[in-house]
Amino acid sequence: MSDMIQNTIGFVQKTLADAEGGHDWFHIERVWKNAMLIAKEEDCDMELVQLAALLHDIADSKFHGGDEKIGPKTAANWLLSQNYPQDRIDRIASIIRAISYKGGANEHEDHSIEFHIVQDADRLDAIGAIGIARTFNYGGFKNRAIYDPSIAPNLNMTKEEYKKSTAPTINHFYEKLLLLKDLMNTVSGKRIAEQRHQYMEGFLNQFYNEWNGQS
């Protein structure tokens, strides 16, 4: 492992020491590992992938008053402090700007293979067993209802509506999580997402059976 990667790991661990459980160091570590797994099957810049994965949530906008510039800026300032080349800093900042889901709408699209890898890695951590755990953790953090049958999922939200949503946690499966499988970019990302998607569908079937008092 290079000094640059090791130093960045230390920076992220320190910065996110008190972060919400679904967006803490362990989330970053899982995304980093996912990214390296996917990158092995792609022709890409592995160091760029690793740094972008490690820094992609260094300052998530939803924990900073909706400021979508603070993440790329924080990452860029860290890399600059390490005398990292400016052209590579710009590429990493571009990936971080583009990666967030934001209801599916994103005006900062990046079409590099490195972005596709990191985005897939991040999306994989939003689905499957980990995705379920993170979703309910964040719902509890925001004091949201688990489920309310009278509140239907909104599948046509604008970017602003998505950011401001206070809907029950179960709705988030339909408004985001179950949509991610078909939004994956890479072959290996799609393969892993398929299995995790099926796991979520099984969970929802069990959830509704228990909610409705069925065996």
CA-based nearest residue to 40, from 128, 117, 111, 123 = 117
The first and second tokens of residue 118, run together, are 């990191």
The b-or-e profile of 50-67 (16+ CB within 10 A means b, else e) is bbbbbbbbbbbbeeeeee
Burial class (CB in 10 A: 0-12, 13-18, 19+), 116: buried
Q: What percent of the chain has pLDDT over 90?
A: 73
Instruction: Please tell me the pTM assigned to this model.
Output: 0.88
The one-letter code for the residue type at 79 is L
CA distances from 44 to 22, 39, 79, 115 (A): 28, 7, 20, 10
* 1 or 115, which is more confident: 115
Contact 87, 22 (CB under 8 A): no
List the domain range (segments joined by +) for residue 78.
3-211
pLDDT value of residue 104: 45
pLDDT in tens, 76-85: 999 999 999 9
- Residues whose CB is less than 8 angstroms from the CB of residue 88 and which lie 6 or more positions away in sequence, other chains included: 48, 79
pLDDT value of residue 68: 73
- Residues whose CB is less than 8 angstroms from the CB of residue 114 and which lie 6 or more positions away in sequence, other chains included: 44, 45, 48, 49, 52, 91, 95
Mean pLDDT computed over 160-168: 82
Is residue 27 pLDDT above 60, yes or no?
A: yes
pLDDT value of residue 131: 96
Total structural domains in the chain?
Answer: 1
CATH number of the structural domain spanning residue 47 = 1.10.3210.50
Give residue 135's Cα distance to chain centre. Answer: 11
pLDDT value of residue 19: 79
pLDDT in tens, 44-83: 999 999 999 999 988 665 655 555 788 899 999 999 999 9
Is residue 101 pLDDT above 90, yes or no?
A: no
Q: Give the CB-side neighbour count of residue 176, counting CA atoms within 13 A.
A: 25
DSSP E strand stretches across the chain: none
13-27, 95-109, 141-155: least confident range: 95-109
